[in-house]
Amino acid sequence: MLGLQWGDEGKGKIVDVMTPAYDVIARFQGGPNAGHTLEFEGRKHVLHTIPSGIFRPNTLNIIGNGVVIDPVILQQEMDDLADYHLDWQKILAVSKKAHLIIPTHRLLDAASEQAKGKNKIGSTLKGIGPTYMDKTGRNGLRVGDLFSPNFKEKYEALRDKHISMLKHYEGFEFDLSDYEPKFFHAVELLKNLTCVDSEQYINELLKSGKNILAEGAQGTMLDIDFGTYPFVTSSNTVTAGTCTGLGVAPSKIKNVIGIFKAYCTRVGSGPFPTELEDEDGEKIRQIGREFGATTGRPRRCGWIDLPALKYSIMVDGVTELTMMKADVLGEFDEIKVCTAYKINGKTMDYVPFDMEDVVIEPVYESVKGWKQDLTGLTNFADAPQALKDYVTYLERILEVPISMVSVGPDRNQTLKVH
Ligand code: GDP
Ligand code: IMO
Ligand code: MG
């Protein structure tokens, strides 16, 4: 289950809705840059590292090898759920091969962004980029290393290397005295969790007939290879990331569920052809409560972008779609759909390489708004005709069926279409 836009499509909600049909929910990439929101029984939860299957009984949740973990944030997430008296050892397993975000990774992230000035990525500053850099640079520390008698030495060597790197950033001041003790405290808690060879574990589960739902973080347009580089995150958010991030072969993947908003948002810097910097954009932001789940930043809002969506569907091999936040467009007389890009007078319907450097003029078609509050709907058959038409219209262009439509943040506000 993957986000097809620039993240925050509503993955957390849909994973929670779908979990009863699965035995296992597994995160395969990203880290605490993710903020996945779930709402039920009048309560709202935001998860960053923990998979979104955690609230359903009899579900195993796995943090796969492709994820990067900040032990301090993981501990905070677990503490926030203390009321639920969850049996963590039983319901959560962590890959020994998952990389650790250490305190200086966060500092390097901040220093790098500060040095970039107005060209900054708009990172969540959780240390994601520097941690994946150490992974591919073969310097990283992994969860399994925590059990090594010389973990402290390995940690100090990496920390000291980072400190010498930080000294190259002029004017960047830092202080480790607060976060480092918290890190070592949280590490002890992480060691008490079920730490496994997750690729073995997952393949054995598959062999015994268990169903696994891989929960994506971020979105395809933020993928390190296929997103709007360099304004992307540092992992593969696409279907292929499931294979490398869990140790599951491509032949084992059955369905790819792609999730998108009825419009589009982006948080952080980078190209966004359909962005609305006007009243309509503000209206979407307010009605959709488009503020970051991790950082609280206002999200940039715009109309749905079909060239980008088609691109994501192609790269991910999406077999089924879920449309989120249809209720948010309930006050618009007309809804705009970007069907192509006009660049230097030429019309194209795919994402160009130099998206950042060219002026993209979106080509819009207008469809009729449904002008109705959808949040009380329980059956898609009762949906207004204009919404049904919107779904049919998108299905025709995207060439993939939309099987679910979400009409509110609660787990019950989800309609099956087919
Ligand atoms: P994720 O990162 O993909 O899990 O998405 P986020 O949790 O960051 O952002 C999605 C936001 O939209 C959250 O605040 C959800 O509670 C909310 N949400 C999800 N689905 C719907 C929906 O259908 N309608 C409305 N109004 N809000 C929704
Ligand atoms: P979920 O899983 C939206 C964005 C950041 C920034 C860029 C790089 O909740 O959809 P990073 O912290 O990875 O170095 O930031 O990616 N970004 C997200 N935007 N949703 C997310 O996760 C995001 N994770 C990272 O805003 O532009
Ligand atoms: Mg989010």
Distance CA 330, CA 287 (A): 9
Which ligand 2 atom sits closest to the C-alpha of 8? 10
Across 263-310, where does the E strand assignment appear?
264-266, 300-302, 304-305
Q: Is the CB of 216 under 6 A from ligand 1?
A: no
Digit-coded pLDDT (tens) for 361-415: 999 999 999 999 999 999 999 999 999 999 999 999 999 999 999 999 999 999 9
pLDDT < 70 regions, the chain:
none
Return the pLDDT at 274.
98
Which residue reads 């006050």 in tokens?
331
How high is the pLDDT of residue 78?
97
- Show the CA angle centred on residue 163, arms to residues 231 and 126, nearest 5°: 35
**Phi, psi angle pair for 336, to nearest 5°:** -100, 145
The radius of gyration of the chain's CA atoms, rounded to the nearest angstrom, is 21
**3-class state of residue 85 by DSSP:** coil
- Residue partners of 160: CB distance under 8 A and separation at least 6: none
If DSSP codes are grouped into helix, strand and coil, which group holds residue 336?
strand
| CA 276 to ligand 2 center in whole angstroms | 20
Residue 150 pLDDT: 96
Q: How many CB atoms within 10 Å of residue 98?
A: 26
Q: What is the pLDDT of residue 169?
A: 96
Q: Which of these, 250, 271, 245, 254, lies nearest to 355 by C-alpha position?
A: 271
Place of tokens 């650790």: 100
Which residue CA neighbors atom 14 of ligand 1 most closely?
37
323: left (phi over 0), alpha (psi -120 to 50) or beta: beta
Q: What angle do CA 363, 406, 239 make, to 5 degrees?
A: 70
d(CA 203, CA 195): 16
3-state helix, strand, coil in the chain (%, to 5): 35, 20, 45
Query: Residues near 349 by Cβ (< 8 Å), separated by ≥ 6?
Result: 306, 307, 310, 339, 340, 341
For residue 140, the number of C-alpha atoms closer than 13 Å in the C-beta half-sphere is 27
Ligand nearest, relative to CA of residue 284:
1
Cα(6) to ligand 1 centroid in Å equals 13
Q: Which ligand is nearest to the CA of 291?
A: 1
Catalytic residue positions?
A: 8, 36
Distance of CA 206 from the midpoint of ligand 3 (Å)? 28
